[in-house]
Amino acid sequence: MTSNHRIHDFVSALAAAGALEPETLDEVAVPEAYVTVKSLSVEHWAEAARLAKAHGLRWAGCWADEVSTGYRLYVLLAANGQYVLLVAAWKEDDMPVPSQSTSYPAASRMERHMHDLLGIPWQGTTDTRRWTRHRAWEADQYPLRSNFPLQTDKTGHTPVDNHYPFEPIQGDGIYEIPVGPVHAGIIEPGHFRFQAAGEPILRLEERLGYVHKGIEKLAVGRDADSLVRLAGRVSGDSTVAYAWAAAMAIEQASGMAVSPRIQLIRGLLAERERVANHLGDIGAICNDVGFAFAHMQCQALREGWLRRNAEWTGHRLLMDVIKPGGIHCELSEDMRARLLDDHEQLRKEIRPLFDILDDHPSLEDRLLTTGYLSAATANELGVTGYVGKASGQNTDVRHDSPYGPYQNLQFSTATLEAGDVAARLAIRQMEIFSSLKLMQDMLEKLAQLPEEQMLEQDFPTPHVTGSLAIVDGWRGEILVFLRFDQQGKVVRFFPRDPSWFTWPALERIVLGNIVPDFPVCNKSVNASYSGHDL
């Protein structure tokens, strides 16, 4: 059954079950070659998930939106690069929404997020505990509703999030290790509750939400430029990917075409971000098992890479380089030549380095079979990016649903079946080579296209209220959903980080591993706290 058929059969099955609404609820601009939009009646919300599961679709995220007549619920389902976006209408006096988490376990936290922020009640859910909400607002308050102010008049200290009901575990000799939110390294905050017997981990429960800073609410009322600026700070290590996705959603809603040259430069920026992050992670994974040599080598390479970023764009991490409708910096012929040299240089540097990583006995001893994620679990959770690819999930938006410059570039994506830390390390290495190849091709194409004047132009007001963009960040598939009012101001921004799926994967990955191996397992996944907590 090909992917197109899977989506098609699923939609037919929904129609046969009487789940589809004949009328289109709202217009949503989407990449039309890959995404179908259908209106679903809300009472069939869980049924749709059951059917999707039966058709082998990947669950790619859900979110909600307050509109004048109530609420809209969205869920995105995927099969090999084809997507279907289901939209349903819900009102406060309706029945609670039937949960999709019984079919797709990864839906649970996103549904809890929707409850905590917008007050969408769920029925038949596997977990009714709060998720994003700690104690900064009350249980009966919903910050994303329009009647909730961005600035609250709340004074005094925010109490600590105690009495969160962690799942208990009982048995002889079983003990708990609470870790965080402040960790022992230079890393984002979150809480991990380990339950262990002796050294092996029996269970890990994550408690996130510590870096929730109201990004979805802050977006409300922004114009295109400032929205893209905010999007570039959803997760700092993915600033290019988010800014690009947000810009793409805005351009799509405005019917604005971006020139091939700008697309290529955006692609170049995104690949540079991927390489920089992979270099950092490869070193850090090795460092977590005491192999400092690789860490220093990778940090040195990364530093050279970031300095070139600064020289070219003025920013080491490429923040605020992408803007709606374009980019802030051109690529001169001189810089193009320097980038080509850099790529050659990096290839020369990483080949002997990766050779060492590939057959170094002490690394093998620590990384092989450590932190195993089975293909079945990765599939069940809908994990994308390097975590998915290391466990046999061949999902890459650049390849499967190509956008911008990737439509005209040839490249293959690698997957491995081993699913351990070593495989996640190897996938990162392969992705660096594949990015170098892509950047080579992009630079060759750029040589054919004349430099463009970056004109400051008024941005056209979006003529479609909703817009969904899908890109491949270095961590995996990123979604950005936007809705605009009639003046073109943002009323809803939902960026969905791939970490929503890799965080639950980490809970499975550590099982049976010893507690001291948690850092390397965690680093091999490197999920974003900020991108998840919003």
Indicate which single residue of 429, 435, 524, 530 sits in contact with another protein (rule: CB under 8 A): 530
Residue 302 CB, shortest distance to another protein, in Å, is 7
Pairing type for strands 191-197 and 201-207 reads antiparallel
d(C-alpha 62, C-alpha 100), whole Å: 10
The interface with another protein within residues 188-247 (CB under 8 A) comprises: 188-189, 209-215, 217-218, 229-230, 233-237, 239
What b/e readout covers 250-280, taking b as 16+ CB neighbours within 10 angstroms? Answer: bbbbbebebebbbbbbbbbbbbbbbbbbbbb
CB nearer to another protein: pick between 218 and 514:
218
Q: How far is the CB of 146 from another protein (least distance, A)?
A: 14
Distance CA 278, CA 429 (A): 7
Q: Least distance (Å) from another protein to the CB of residue 63?
A: 17
Binder among 72, 113, 302, 483 for another protein (CB under 8 A): 302
Q: Kindly state the smallest distance separating residue 291's Cβ from another protein, in Å.
A: 9
Report in angstroms how near the CB of residue 4 gets to another protein at its nearest.
Answer: 38
CB 490 within 8 A of CB 222: yes
Helices (H) and strands (E) in the chain, counts: 17, 15
Q: For another protein, what does the binding mask look like between residues 241 and 280, x meaning CB under 8 A?
A: ---------------------------------------x
Planar angle of CA 117, 475, 470, nearest 5 degrees: 65
- Report the nearest approach of another protein to the CB of residue 216 (Å): 10
Give the three-state DSSP class for 442.
Answer: helix
Q: Per CB under 8 A, does 148 bind another protein?
A: yes
329 scored as a contact of another protein (CB under 8 A): no
Largest interatomic CA distance in the chain? 72
Q: Report the site for another protein in 161-190 (rule: CB under 8 A).
A: 161, 181-182, 184-189
Shorter beta-carbon distance to another protein: residue 47 or 497: 497
Q: Which stretch binds another protein (CB under 8 A): 22-30, 32-40, 267-275, 311-319?
A: 311-319
Closer Cβ to another protein, 59 or 142, answer by number: 142
**Which of 152/259 has CB closer to another protein?**
152
Task: For residue 460, say if its preceding peptide bond is cis, omega within 30 degrees of 0.
Answer: no
| Residue-wise burial string across 5-27, b where 16 or more C-beta atoms lie within 10 A, e elsewhere | ebbbbbbebbeeeebbbeeebbe
Count of residues that bind another protein according to CB under 8 A: 62
Run of H or E residues at 114: helix 107-118
Question: How far apart are CB 416 and another protein at their closest, in Å?
Answer: 24
**Residues 513 and 199 sit within 8 Å (Cβ to Cβ):** no
**Complex with another protein: residue 186 or 455, whichever CB lies closer:** 186
Closest CA to 530 of 187, 123, 144: 187
Choices 33-41, 120-128, 289-297, 428-436; region in contact with another protein by CB under 8 A = 289-297
Q: Which is nearer to another protein, 496 or 508 (CB)?
A: 496
Long-range contacts (CB closer than 8 Å, 24 or more residues apart) made by 114-121: 114/62, 114/63, 114/64, 114/73, 116/142, 117/142, 117/143, 117/144, 117/216, 118/64, 118/66, 118/71, 118/142, 118/144, 118/145, 119/92, 119/145, 120/64, 120/71, 120/73, 120/90, 121/96, 121/97
User: What amino acid occupies position 142?
Assistant: Y
- 174 in Cβ contact with 166 (< 8 Å): no
In this complex, which beta carbon is closest to another protein, that of residue 136 or of residue 256?
136
Q: Of 45-53, 63-71, 290-298, 415-423, which part binds another protein (CB under 8 A)?
A: 290-298
Smallest distance from another protein to CB 140, Å: 14
- 301-336 burial, b if ≥16 CB within 10 A, otherwise e? bbeebbebbeebbebebbbbbbbbbbbebebeeebb
CB of 181 to another protein, least distance (A): 5
Among residues 137, 138, 204, 135, which one has the least CA distance to residue 166? 204
Q: Which of 306, 390, 409, 438 binds another protein (CB under 8 A)?
A: 306
Q: How far apart are CA 60 and CA 472, in angstroms?
A: 13
Q: CB nearer to another protein: give 101 or 277.
A: 277
Minimal distance in Å, beta carbon 298 to another protein? 9
Residue among 353, 446, 505, 510 that touches another protein (CB under 8 A) = 353
Residues 78-137 that bind another protein (CB under 8 A): 134-137
Where does this chain touch another protein (CB under 8 A) — which range of 145-153, 166-174, 330-338, 476-484? 145-153
Angle between helices 518-525 and 260-288 (to 10 degrees): 170
C-beta closer to another protein: residue 176 or 355 = 355
CB of 123 to another protein, least distance (A): 28
Order of strands across the sheet with 466-473? 28-29, 466-473, 476-484, 490-496
Which of 37/350 has CB closer to another protein?
Answer: 350
- Smallest distance from another protein to CB 158, Å: 4
The answer to whether the CB of 534 falls within 8 A of the CB of 495 is yes
Enter the DSSP assignment of 270: H
Piece of 13-21, 35-43, 303-311, 453-461 that binds another protein (CB under 8 A): 303-311
Question: Which residue's CB is nearer to another protein, number 157 or number 163?
Answer: 157
Site residues for another protein per CB under 8 A: 134-137, 143, 148-152, 154, 157-161, 181-182, 184-189, 209-215, 217-218, 229-230, 233-237, 239, 280, 293, 296-297, 299-300, 302-303, 306, 310, 316-317, 319, 352-353, 355-356, 528-530, 533
